[in-house]
Chain A
């Protein structure tokens, strides 16, 4: 078991004929993901990495039975690509694209909300269920199948955490990159709920960062609804206010979104805190041991 994706997930890539889309489609194929096709308007009938290319998502869905999509479409057209996937009834929409205007996402989110599709991202590394299915840009080999559910707003920081877990002998059930933008499709709470319900996930490791209040909301949710051990790390304790730290969403504004406020809320919810980024895997182990 796992969440969101597994060995049966049938995946298409929107933007497959682009350099990056093709590169990562091959990476997912190599990992063993059931990639079944791709979409680029006007390139229907071509073939990339041995996969058929379609002009529209609906065509791709009908021909391949795809139920998930990985989006690499450039920022000006990415919001439209998400809407197309949702309109075609694709169950799982994973948007990797970085740089989508926030107002475009404000238009997209209510449509996703009203549909049965789940959106992960944008500006995220993707989702991986180790040993079964990888949809995204993460290096597959650092992951091991197991029982820790991992979720994060950042890419390389997730790799770091996963690598630490793997070194400590703790595999992962599913790792979810939520994305570094202010408006994203899935929140910590959405994923916490899935991990809590998944019998194969025994504990949860989350990596947050400065900006917004998603971590505070997650802490409140954990306190009320999560029975499994949870550990957390927050990036950006040394970040100055008012400055965007790489991610569009990583900014302390008006005294809100500080690492301190987030850590306080997480501690208050009984979540084990990793003080150092070197301590993320160990914090997860501590949280697990505390319960047993």
Chain B
């Protein structure tokens, strides 16, 4: 789960990580008021969307950038006007962009240097790691690819947190003046503690700023949470902004389905995540484009399958649907009955190709054959892919 920058900063402030003062605004007038209230000569007005690259992003149909500096309340109102209810396109939103529903007005600071810092769980190390770099404000993936020597990593134990000595190692390598090392220790240690305490899966500060007076400040904050741990963070869950998420994905999650919308024309309904991904690949291999990833899980019932079909069909691009089930614990007869039942209630507008294999497959196929539905049955994965691609182009 993702949250907005201003929400992440509220959480960080509470955890003792230095952030600048700021206020959220949902109208230009609120933005002007925020500027006055903050009382600094310059403020940044920042679009709040669940995607990065806002500084270089641009509003559709205008020259407005996603982040701009304001020098007066009128200035702040003008920038907010240019952002609010407009569609911002960044490298992370894709060409369709995302609608800006709120802006964050943040007081300015005197920047000495811009650094980079992030925390994530490193699979190879099997532990959380803090990553830092002198290349602040830049695309960190590019830095890692071109100049890996500029990337510093310090793994840490979730309970002990980052050691003080580790913060000194980082401070030295980042070239911070020794007078700022205490500030760096405080910054890094509270950041790692917040990461663990909140069950974050990514916490990225880009840029992390060394100010003229030697302090460290999180100028931006991007935070993603471990969905598996949200059960113990009701406060974090309350920060969810569903307006930023794909409606069909929210609907799927509510039904216990795992769904990701894609751009193709062939809907996929599969049991198991690995098989669901492979089914998308299979469709592509035979000249089609998958419209979605959808895993119905191990014990899908009629209600779930019905809802899965409704979600797939809610995508207007879908021209045909491929059902690929390997019956293990879930019997093919169960899924066949669910398919027949669902097809009656849903009312298919596009061809449906079904491939069943595994437990009780013959009986399952018989149920489909004897039903008065127009389901196209397939023998094997390749046959299924060919049939659904052909059906989508008919």
Contacts and interface: CB of A to CB of B under 8 A. Distances in A.
A254 B140 contact: yes
Interface residues of A, number: 62
A188 interface: no
B381 A278 contact: yes
Chain B CB within 10 A, most for which of A75, A180, A235: A235
Interface string A78-108: 0000000000000000000001111110110
A247 B121 contact: no
B273 A246 contact: yes
B262 interface: yes
Contacts of A154: 272-275, 277
B126 A276 contact: no
A45 interface: no
A246 B199 contact: no
Given A213-B124, A277-B281, A156 B271 contact: yes
A48 interface: no
Contacts of B326: 156, 159-160, 163
B75 interface: no
Size bracket, chain B contacts: 35 or more
Given A102-B121, A156-B326, A214-B123, A276 B228 contact: no
Contact of A248 (B199, B227, B279): B227
Chain A CB within 10 A, most for which of B272, B293, B382: B272
B262 to A, nearest CB: 7
B277 A236 contact: yes
Contacts, number: 180
A214 B274 CA distance: 15
A234 to B, nearest CB: 9
A101 to B, nearest CB: 4
Contact of A107 (B158, B262, B273, B283): B158
A212 B271 contact: no
A137 B276 contact: no
A153 interface: yes
Contact of A235 (B274, B359, B382): B274
A31 to B, nearest CB: 13
B144 interface: yes
A255 B273 contact: no
A106 B226 contact: no
B226 A152 contact: no
B380 to A, nearest CB: 6
A254 B202 CA distance: 12
A182 B227 CA distance: 13
A100 B274 contact: no
A233 to B, nearest CB: 7
Contact of A157 (B128, B278, B358): B278
B280 A238 contact: yes
A265 interface: no
A242 B328 contact: no
B228 A248 contact: yes
B260 A106 contact: no
A110 B228 CA distance: 21
Contacts of B279: 277
Contacts of A158: 274
A245 interface: yes
A63 to B, nearest CB: 29
Given A76-B231, A100-B228, A277-B278, A240 B262 contact: yes
A149 interface: no
A106 B126 contact: yes
Interface string B288-303: 0010010100100000
Contact of B328 (A139, A248, A249): A139
Contacts of A197: none
A239 B280 contact: yes
B273 A103 contact: no
A159 B328 contact: yes
A249 B123 contact: yes
B213 interface: no
Nearest to A140: B328
A243 interface: yes
* Smallest CB-CB A-B distances: 7 pairs: A154-B274, A246-B273, A156-B272, A157-B274, A101-B229, A278-B381, A277-B278
6 contacts: A155-B275, A183-B126, A235-B274, A236-B278, A239-B293, A254-B141
Interface of B: 92, 121, 123-124, 126-128, 140-141, 144-145, 157-159, 196, 199, 201, 226-229, 231-232, 258, 260, 262, 270-285, 290, 293, 295, 298, 326-329, 357-359, 380-382, 385
